Amino acid sequence: MRHKRIPKRKAVLAGAAALGMVATAVLLQQANASQSGSETGSGAAAKRLSAASATKLVKPLASQLGDSYAGAYYDEEKQQLVVNVVGDNNAVDVQVKRAGAVLRTVDNSSGELGSATKTLASRATIPGTAWATDPRTNQVVVTADRTVTGERWDKLEATVDSLGSGMARIQKSAGEFKPFAAGGDAIFGGGARCSLGFNVTTEDGSPGFLTAGHCGVAAESWSDAQDGAAIGTVQAATFPGDGDFALVTYDDPATEAPSTVNTGDGQTTEIVQAAEAAVGQEVSRMGSTTGLQSGAVTGLNATVNYPEGTVSGLIQTDVCAEPGDSGGSLFTADGSAIGLTSGGSGDCTAGGETFFQPVTTALEAVGAEIGAGGN
């Protein structure tokens, strides 16, 4: 599948959910590495925060801490934001504690971890591999699926070794990385089955929705029934490359596009905002193939080397998914839209791992905002 861009029309997010996907998928085992580094400061001194509140602290803190900043994650059990820092700087200690976060001293800076991912991109962009920074272990976690063998495995292993001790680690997958496409509120186009992610309202007030980019490049018109009449037309699509998202506008401007996610059994979750993901955050995914599933965010700014091409800037999770889930909604219990299902490997019997397009990035790319604005 080649990267295709269709002229954009700006959009405003309004929300509604479902999933779908067109490829096969198999299990990706997740290795749960032990946490490195040490926390300093009293846990009692740190504020108890919601995941949404914690994510809002990360960007300003990262800017304030500069080169000392080395990532952050959300401790769901303690409801605390843990901030990694390098070096011994009392001023940094004060800044972190003043923000209500827990300070944790680590070895690898954000710059060093970023440099490691650039090296991987230049030397080891091999189909069947993926990598993301894990702030809990302060490493780049590299995953190789079952197709990475022989010379390709040797090349990957040599590249990881060249990064230096403690900078990155490799974990093996029993499955294959593929984009998903077939289920929540299913949509159909060009022989492909995908899912509506979140409803949108365009700048001129017309309704539309976000879905996966690999769905958007598969067909320009989409229906809500197999072999049914078209209900929407693709206005913008990105895949592969810097994301996996598409904007579709409804052909009937009178279409109702509620800001909700259909979670099954007549239940819905109201979507009130788009939000950044945080490692450790609990999230839910809805799809017609597997229903409502939950898990946690395990990595940010992930790069996945699909057979169709490389996609960067994704959210990595341990939420299971199966064929029929592409484009569908990743969201939180408090009504935050987090992501759109991209791909991965696994099933919901044995478990798996799935990658998602951040909603905030998709919104920015198409000039969108949630609801009536203010996001």
Q: What share of the chain is helix, strand, coil (3-state, %, to 5)?
A: 20, 40, 45
- Mean pLDDT of all residues in 257-272: 88
What is the rounded distance in angstroms from the CA atom of residue 42 to the CA atom of residue 44? Answer: 5
pLDDT at 158 over 90: yes
Paired tokens of 253: 């401007």
pLDDT of residue 48 exceeding 70, the answer is: yes
Confidence of residue 371 (pLDDT cuts 50, 70, 90): low
Catalytic residue from among 75, 145, 206, 214 = 214
Q: Is the pLDDT of residue 220 over 90?
A: yes
HEC readout, 256-278: CCCCEEEEECCEEEECCEECCCC
Pair of tokens at residue 249: 């506008």
Q: Is 245 left (phi over 0), alpha (psi -120 to 50) or beta?
A: beta
Indicate the SS3 state at residue 255: coil
Q: What is d(CA 206, CA 179) in angstroms, rounded to the nearest whole number?
A: 29
**Known catalytic residue at 3:** no
What mean pLDDT do residues 246-262 have?
A: 88
- Out of 326, 336, 342, 345, pick the active-site residue: 326
For residue 4, is pLDDT > 50?
A: no
* Sign of the torsion formed by the C-alpha atoms of 242, 286, 274 and 60: negative
Instruction: Give the residue-averaged pLDDT of 37-60.
Output: 76
Residue with the bigger pLDDT between 17 and 275: it is 275
pLDDT computed for residue 185 by the predictor: 63
pLDDT digits (tens, 9 = 90+) for 71-116: 999 999 999 999 999 998 889 999 999 999 999 999 999 999 999 9
Backbone angles phi, psi at 107, to 5 degrees: -95, -35
The dihedrals phi and psi of 134, each to the nearest 5 degrees, come to -110, 105
Does 179 sit behind a cis peptide bond, omega within 30 degrees of 0 on the bond before it? no
Residue 51 has pLDDT above 50, yes or no: yes
Active-site residue, selected from the candidate residues 75, 134, 244, 325: 244
Q: Which residues contact 121 (CB under 8 A, 6 or more apart)?
A: 303, 310
Adjacent-strand bridge partners of 83: 72, 103
Is 326 tagged catalytic? yes
Residue 134 has pLDDT above 70, yes or no: yes
Mean pLDDT computed over every residue of the chain: 84
pLDDT band at 31 (very low <50, low <70, confident <90, very high): very low
Could you tell me the CA-to-CA distances from 57 to 76, 98, 125, 282 in Å, in that order? 15, 11, 33, 18
Assign 200 a pLDDT band (cuts: 50, 70, 90).
confident
Residue 42 appears among annotated catalytic residues: no
SS (H, E, C) 297-335: EEEEEEEEEECCEEEEEEEEECCCCCCCCCCCEEECCCC
Q: Quickly state the pLDDT bin for 236 (edges 50, 70, 90).
A: very high
